[in-house]
Copies of this chain bind each other. A is one copy, B any other.
Amino acid sequence: MKRNTRQREAILSTLYGSGRSLSPVEIRAEASVYVPGLSLPTVYRQIKGLVEEQAVSQVDLPGQSPRYEAPCDAHATVAGHHHHHFHCDVCERVYPIHACPGSMATLAPKGFRVERHDVTLHGRCASCAARA
């Protein structure tokens, strides 16, 4: 997965252009504007390669299939930086949260070694909240 095909470029620019996390189907829909006929298997193969080379990161939210996002450039860490996500219950979109409640090691029972945490917020995003 190193060649600059039209498909790869379309997928990459879709991910880097969007400020949020996209599902494979969303990626296909957006990238199809640049490459009509783009196939879903190609999207899956490209994102798999892109995740491996850390050009894109995978976002797993509870109860949802994986989404993908461009590493945040606001903090310019090469391999992306620690952040969380907000899932809008209305439009189903996923937005990055550049804040963190901090270590949660003390929440676990004695003897448990906490090495990582995931936080997902749910509710209404700004535009869906304004609409209500």
Contacts and interface: CB of A to CB of B under 8 A. Distances in A.
Contacts of A92: none
B115 A107 contact: no
The number of times this chain is found in the oligomer is 2
Contact of A60 (B63, B66, B106): B63
Contacts of A120: 62, 117-118
Contacts of A99: 106-107
- Chain A interface mostly helix, strand, loop or mixed? mixed
Given A63-B66, A84-B107, A121 B129 contact: no
B114 A123 contact: yes
A51 to B, nearest CB: 13
Interface in A35-91: 60-63, 66, 84, 86, 89
